[in-house]
Homo-oligomer: A and B are copies of this chain.
Amino acid sequence: MTPIPPKPDHTHDTNLTSWVLSAETETDFPIQNLPLGVFSLNELGPRIGTAIGDQIFDLSQLDLGMDQTIKSALKQPTLNALFALPSSQLKALRLILSKSLSDKAYAETLSPHLYAQNICQMHLPVHIGDYTDFYVGIHHATRVGKLFRPDNPLLPNYKHVPIGYHGRASSITVSDTPVVRPLGQTLPPEALEPIFGPTKRLDFELELGLIIGTANELGSPISIHEAPQHMAGLCLLNDWSARDLQAWEYQPLGPFLAKNFHSSLSPWVITMEALVPFRGEALKRAVGDPNPLPYLTDAYDQAFGGVTIKLEAHIKTKAMADQGDDPIRLCQSQATHAMYWTLSQILTHHTSGGCNLRTGDLLGTGTLSGPETSQSGSLLELSQGGKHPFDLGNGEFRRFLEDGDEISFTARAEAKGFKTIGFGECRGKIMPARSV
């Protein structure tokens, strides 16, 4: 049986326009996107909105004929209650928002609920109960593995089991929160004893973050067929990493302080509904690759579990900022080409032993590097383990991040015949370490 493709509807129509004028210019947030986030402005406390052009449409005070459960979920200061609703209700909300922001008849009534993005403060979109980071980027895993094991970069389990580990939820902040260079233990090259001080190998990791929608009970796994019903949407995630701390601490239980000092999340959740036109075939297994075990196998997922998202990382050094220069691009990659395991596969695997996911939980994909070194989503790869400083093209080079460097991620979902939608930015600037 051939799986039925996910079906775009009129909210995805490339000809649909908005009465919000900035949505009709070059923007990440045309009327086809309608991402959800949490913002505040002066005396207005944190509240739910959708990004449209360069504006935020405040959803907290509205009655657009919505169901009472949706209305009360929209009054919360996070998206958790909304994302706990069945996908049919989120789809109903999307239809209402699309109608309200496209039909000119609403312009006068609804304009007072618009706020310029550049005067609003963004917040984490969800309360994150638990954060898990996966390692699905096969080119990243291969390139990083090569630094340690040139002849045998991928471990034997990689193509059988989606590798992941638990991360720290408390230190995840919304984009634009400054990142303080962490202190920690490292074993300097050729030293016999470790030292304690600022990391010398601070890095970024370019990832997508999957926000969990409806939860599952402890002991009740989510099958791969049901997995899509438990996804609320995607964000950009920077899993900042201290490579020298990591090298010293990670045996035998994995990364700990090397990762938990800070992670950055973009403020807008791009809903799975908005991404419908951009779904497609998952990464094809190479000849000789093992078949996934049955609990990770699904014809629909193979046919439509991929998502065509172009990812970019940019850097603005202090020198660039001082000279008023634009950031320069560090890399560009494409999600589906990078992901050995799909979103459904990581979600299903996570719950396969009975672990419960809660609404708002965050599943990072891991670094989504492309097959070429120039498509690497981390400096560890771009500088080949720090051995070959990466040329920024303006006379500056980077092995790892320096104080004052600002890293920003952007992403766009693209498909022929559809309006491109963007993710906004995930940004963080490196601040000097506190004194020891």
Interface residues of A (CB under 8 A from B): 129-130, 132, 135, 155, 157, 160-161, 163-171, 173, 180, 182-185, 187, 193-196, 218-219, 221, 242, 245, 248-257, 260-262, 290, 293-295, 349-350, 352-358, 361, 434, 436
Contacts and interface: CB of A to CB of B under 8 A. Distances in A.
A249 B134 CA distance: 12
A173 B254 CA distance: 24
Nearest to A431: B219
A115 to B, nearest CB: 27
Contacts of A262: 218, 354
A91 B56 CA distance: 48
Contact of A254 (B183, B195, B255): B255
Copies in the complex: 2
A389 B355 CA distance: 29
Contacts of A436: 295
Given A163-B252, A196-B352, A257-B349, 4 more contacts: A157-B194, A183-B353, A193-B290, A253-B254
A164 B256 contact: yes
A168 B250 CA distance: 18
B260 A353 contact: yes
A352 B184 contact: yes
Nearest to A242: B353
Contact of A135 (B168, B194, B253): B253
Contact of A249 (B157, B168, B249): B157
A222 to B, nearest CB: 13
Contact of A185 (B135, B161, B164, B166): B161
Given A168-B130, A354-B180, A161 B254 contact: no
Nearest to A180: B219
B293 A170 contact: no
Contacts of A356: 170-171
B161 A249 contact: yes
A182 B353 contact: yes
B358 A165 contact: no
